[in-house]
Chains A and B, each alone.
Chain A
């Protein structure tokens, strides 16, 4: 390479220098803001094409009418009115949609609280107790094991473990702790939460770990020198500085659980309602506008939760 440049310079020094100037002029002509737009551009286009435009379509379709076999592009609120059917008439009983969302929110809250607790301590261990970078990497990779098999296989594998004749039940019966198999281990809210926690704790670990490793060790030493106890350091130094990670992890977990219907379906024995399940049933019945209306409602509620969370922590500022 070097020789070729030399040769080139010897042959026509002007040419090479000319190229440099041309480049310099070009760079000068591009304003810094244009360069930033250019850098953000590809991502923006991808977002526009594959997220924003489809989303706009979903909102439009949610206000269309439909029959057994086609969409009728005429304005109709039927998708929404059908969804909230009986919400006033059935009072004080809750209507389907209210029940479904309460159940979904409950599951979401439980999964969020447990993954946060587990994720925080796993990340804490990885960031502060594991000294070598290699071990940190290795152990984080271990956290991905649940993702090595397909979603469906992973969920089916719970049946021999938690089922009526499963390992847990037969183990408990042998030790004499119970006489009859425990039924609530499988196809219950317990099993749904268990499976979701098993799947999504990783999404908490990664961002929290990422925040923790960026905490300046000098701050912890300073806290120690100033006489803070371990708990005080945790509450006053580590948790506040891990907040962005906690919020990002929470957003991951909440958005996934709010929209989940496969895990809830399989682990809940298809007997537990989920916001995503309603959408699926509607789509399968070719009632696209009703499905779209439900998707818009789900999106609005999820968005509300996330807005509230980012009110508590300004992620942009913290990053």
Chain B
């Protein structure tokens, strides 16, 4: 009896092995989709350093399914990502970072530009990045570190940004957005249409700005300019005098008790707004969504002076070469192929290649998120939770209107060191 059992056991196992092999072959040849990709001798693993914006379990799972590349996320804040590239360039493979940090990263020589020719969808990347205009032809504000100023390098190992297109791309664009002030319409109860409202005494003790110097200074500059006190030549590259002036205006407001608090991370900004401690403040798009999903009215208010924009993209560590570099290209190509783009669009961000993302979205979703039309059906987040009921319209309207309304970009200034010192003075005032 036992012998027979043993025999059948063996034969069953052999049978299983055979089927798995066949299935593997079939999957490998592309005949069957939905099966795990057949692993090559070396497992394809990429260490992915970035902020949480682009990192989703859904994205890494789908990527593994489609390409067999396993993504290991290393999540850090924007500042810590930059610090890590500087101090531990071998601790990651793929880097997901913002364009404004390139002024620090490229001269360090710790990152490797990617070859545009190897990026399948490169020619389909939105002209926002390549030409500084929307697909509809609207010119976009170029103050600050606009992506098209730092998109190309002069050569493969060059540390100089090229003025015209080359094949060496510093960061392959992935995601970007236009930021503005968040408000509580239920408490303010009147239209808000200018950045200057942040310093309106009406909101004394109920306003907030973010305490990350390189971004906070841009919001501060938008405010100062909108009050008519000063017009900057380039908000993203102030002179010492301009920094002094900006901080003077902000310091006076701080001393007068205008600000309830400053915030530094996503959750702080959500808490301040949701609890009603603040009614108007600098904010990020997903934070507004989070407040709304708690059932509290919150608007990402379009303002007449325009938006402050940011953008991020992929490059690789200087230590990446050979097969790993090929996987990195495969991953970046996959990222631009639509699934991830649609995922990001559904969160209220924008994807770099619009055509592929569109193919992965329902027409009603595209109409709501990208065309500024009223939602035909309920709008759901990627995780399936309800974001907006049918009939709602996106704050700021269509892609053309929002990206076309960008006034400046997050920046690292030439006088960054001075600015940081002045920012500390502002906090201490």
The interface of chain A, by Cβ under 8 A from chain B, is 68-70, 82, 85, 96, 99-100, 103, 156, 159-160, 163-166, 183, 186-187, 265-266, 268-273, 277-278, 281-287, 290
Contact B263 A164 (CB under 8 A): no
- Most A-side CB within 10 Å, residue of B80, B271, B423, B427: B427
Task: List B residues 80-117 near A (Cβ within 8 Å).
Answer: 80, 82-83, 86, 103-105, 107-108
Contact A69 B107 (CB under 8 A): yes
Known: A69-B108, A281-B424, A286-B86. A269 touches B261 (CB 8 A): yes
Top 9 closest A-B pairs, CB basis? Answer: A269-B261, A273-B428, A270-B262, A284-B79, A69-B104, A270-B211, A96-B425, A69-B108, A285-B420
Contact B264 A270 (CB under 8 A): yes
Contact B262 A277 (CB under 8 A): no
Main secondary structure of the interface of A (DSSP, over half): loop
Q: Is B383 an interface residue when CB atoms closer than 8 A count as contact?
A: no
- Most B-side CB within 10 Å, residue of A160, A183, A268, A271: A271
Identity of the chain A residue whose Cβ is nearest the Cβ of B412 in the assembled complex: A68
Q: Is B28 an interface residue when CB atoms closer than 8 A count as contact?
A: no
Main secondary structure of the interface of B (DSSP, over half): helix
Identity of the chain B residue whose Cβ is nearest the Cβ of A68 in the assembled complex: B104
Contact A68 B107 (CB under 8 A): yes
Identity of the chain B residue whose Cβ is nearest the Cβ of A166 in the assembled complex: B275
Cβ–Cβ < 8 Å partners of B260 in chain A: 187, 269
Cβ–Cβ < 8 Å partners of A268 in chain B: 261
Q: Is B123 an interface residue when CB atoms closer than 8 A count as contact?
A: no
Q: What's the Cα separation between A165 and B108 when bound, in Å?
A: 49
Task: List B residues 223-279 near A (Cβ within 8 Å).
Answer: 254, 259-264, 267-268, 271, 275-277
Known: A270-B427, A271-B254. A286 touches B104 (CB 8 A): yes
Q: What's the Cα separation between A70 and B108 when bound, in Å?
A: 7
Q: Is B5 an interface residue when CB atoms closer than 8 A count as contact?
A: no
Cβ–Cβ < 8 Å partners of B268 in chain A: 266
Q: What 1/0 mask marks residues of chain B from 415 to 429 whose CB sits below 8 Å from any chain A CB? A: 011001101110111
Q: What's the Cα separation between A187 and B420 when bound, in Å?
A: 23
Contact A281 B82 (CB under 8 A): no
Contact A96 B82 (CB under 8 A): no
Q: Is B213 an interface residue when CB atoms closer than 8 A count as contact?
A: yes
Contact A99 B416 (CB under 8 A): no
- Most B-side CB within 10 Å, residue of A82, A183, A284: A284
Given contacts A183-B205, A272-B427, A277-B424, list 19 more A-B pairs with CB under 8 A: A68-B103, A68-B417, A69-B86, A96-B424, A99-B429, A159-B277, A160-B275, A166-B275, A269-B259, A269-B261, A270-B211, A273-B424, A273-B427, A281-B423, A284-B79, A284-B212, A286-B82, A287-B417, A290-B417
Shortest CB distance B187–A (Å): 11
Known: A68-B104, A68-B412. A269 touches B424 (CB 8 A): no
Query: What number of B residues sit within 8 Å (CB to CB) of A?
Result: 39
Task: List B residues 172-217 near A (Cβ within 8 Å).
Answer: 205, 211-214
Known: A68-B107, A96-B424. A286 touches B262 (CB 8 A): no
Q: What's the Cα separation between A164 and B203 when bound, in Å?
A: 14
Partner of A103, one of B82, B86, B425, B428: B428
Shortest CB distance B103–A (Å): 7
Cβ–Cβ < 8 Å partners of A85 in chain B: 421
Partner of A271, one of B105, B213, B262, B423: B262
Known: A270-B211, A271-B254. A156 touches B261 (CB 8 A): no
Shortest CB distance A184–B (Å): 10
Shortest CB distance B259–A (Å): 6
Cβ–Cβ < 8 Å partners of A187 in chain B: 260-261, 277
Cβ–Cβ < 8 Å partners of B211 in chain A: 270
Known: A269-B259, A271-B261. A285 touches B277 (CB 8 A): no
Q: What's the Cα separation between A273 and B424 when bound, in Å?
A: 8
Q: What's the Cα separation between A22 and B79 when bound, in Å?
A: 61
Q: What's the Cα separation between A115 and B31 when bound, in Å?
A: 71
Q: What's the Cα separation between A287 and B262 when bound, in Å?
A: 22
Q: What's the Cα separation between A96 and B259 when bound, in Å?
A: 20
Partner of A285, one of B80, B213, B275, B425: B213
Partner of A165, one of B264, B276, B429: B276
Cβ–Cβ < 8 Å partners of A269 in chain B: 259-262
Cβ–Cβ < 8 Å partners of A265 in chain B: 264
Q: What's the Cα separation between A70 and B89 when bound, in Å?
A: 13
Identity of the chain B residue whose Cβ is nearest the Cβ of A78 in the assembled complex: B417
Contact A270 B277 (CB under 8 A): no
Q: What's the Cα separation between A163 and B82 when bound, in Å?
A: 35
Identity of the chain A residue whose Cβ is nearest the Cβ of B204 in the assembled complex: A183
Cβ–Cβ < 8 Å partners of A70 in chain B: 86, 107-108
Q: What's the Cα separation between A68 and B413 when bound, in Å?
A: 10
Shortest CB distance B193–A (Å): 26
Known: A68-B107, A271-B261, A286-B83. A99 touches B428 (CB 8 A): yes
Q: What's the Cα separation between A66 and B212 when bound, in Å?
A: 21
Cβ–Cβ < 8 Å partners of B429 in chain A: 99
Q: What's the Cα separation between A96 and B107 when bound, in Å?
A: 31
Cβ–Cβ < 8 Å partners of B82 in chain A: 286
Q: List 29 A-B contacts (CB under 8 A).
A: A68-B412, A69-B86, A69-B108, A70-B86, A96-B428, A100-B428, A163-B276, A163-B277, A164-B276, A165-B275, A187-B261, A187-B277, A268-B261, A269-B262, A270-B263, A270-B264, A272-B427, A277-B427, A278-B424, A281-B213, A281-B427, A283-B83, A284-B79, A284-B83, A284-B212, A285-B213, A285-B420, A286-B82, A287-B420
Cβ–Cβ < 8 Å partners of B86 in chain A: 69-70, 286
- Most B-side CB within 10 Å, residue of A85, A273, A277, A281: A281
Cβ–Cβ < 8 Å partners of A273 in chain B: 424, 427-428
Identity of the chain A residue whose Cβ is nearest the Cβ of B205 in the assembled complex: A183
Contact A285 B427 (CB under 8 A): no
Known: A165-B276, A287-B417. A271 touches B271 (CB 8 A): no
Contact A156 B271 (CB under 8 A): yes
Q: What's the Cα separation between A100 and B423 when bound, in Å?
A: 13
Identity of the chain A residue whose Cβ is nearest the Cβ of B105 in the assembled complex: A69
Identity of the chain A residue whose Cβ is nearest the Cβ of B414 in the assembled complex: A68
Known: A271-B259, A271-B262. A159 touches B420 (CB 8 A): no
Shortest CB distance A71–B (Å): 9
Cβ–Cβ < 8 Å partners of A164 in chain B: 275-277
Q: What's the Cα separation between A103 and B254 when bound, in Å?
A: 16
Cβ–Cβ < 8 Å partners of B254 in chain A: 271
Cβ–Cβ < 8 Å partners of B79 in chain A: 284-285
Q: What 1/0 mask marks residues of chain B from 36 to 54 whose CB sits below 8 Å from any chain A CB? A: 0000000000000000000
